[in-house]
Amino acid sequence: MPIKQSRVVCALLVLLASACFGGTGSGLTGTSGANNGGGNNSTPSLAFFVQPNSANAGRVISPPVEIVVRDSTGRTDSSFTGSITVGLASNSTGGLLGGTTVVRPVNGISTFSNLTIDKAGTYALEASASGAATVTIAAFPITTVTTPGRANDH
């Protein structure tokens, strides 16, 4: 009897395996990583990779603000070639954002190395790209540059 049972078990395993892996596919789907390079046509997502904590009015925001483009799996999409634009999302003091505000990513990251805001206040930045949802960061302060006083300035 044990030999007949093992043959039945083997036959059932063969049938089960052929049903899972046979002609109609396994039912698993995959994704490819590129959005602008012929990938899965999902929309890219943007995220602030480096965001400002504070800066002085009229001075370059340091470290440079960086925006990363992610694919549908959450990985950096190094094939994305669209322009990324940053702007002011909140601007209660009427400050102006200066510097280069439109940058094409390199290996999925756009670096905005010369951004400035001309007035003290609290601001939030937003990033956008064609086909992607706009993303906004938390507000950060821009402060007035103070210079040390001189002894004769009373």
Between 9-23, 24-38, 50-64, 78-92, the lowest mean confidence (pLDDT) is in 24-38
Q: Where are the domains of the chain?
A: 45-143
Structure tokens at 138: 């938390």
Per-residue pLDDT tens over the stretch 94-114:
999 999 999 999 999 999 999
Give the CATH number of domain 45-143; options: 3.40.50.720, 3.40.50.300, 2.40.110.20, 2.60.40.10: 2.60.40.10
Q: Percentage of residues in the chain with pLDDT exceeding 70?
A: 68
Looking at residue 131, what is its pLDDT? 87
* pTM flag (> 0.95): no
Residue scoring higher pLDDT (67 or 28): 67
Could you tell me where the DSSP H helices lie in the chain? Answer: 2-21
**What are the angstrom distances between the C-alpha of 23 and each of 12, 13, 18, 20, 134?**
18, 17, 8, 9, 43
Per-residue pLDDT tens over the stretch 30-79:
223 333 433 455 789 999 999 988 899 999 999 999 999 999 999 999 99
**CB distance 108 to 87 below 8 Å:** no
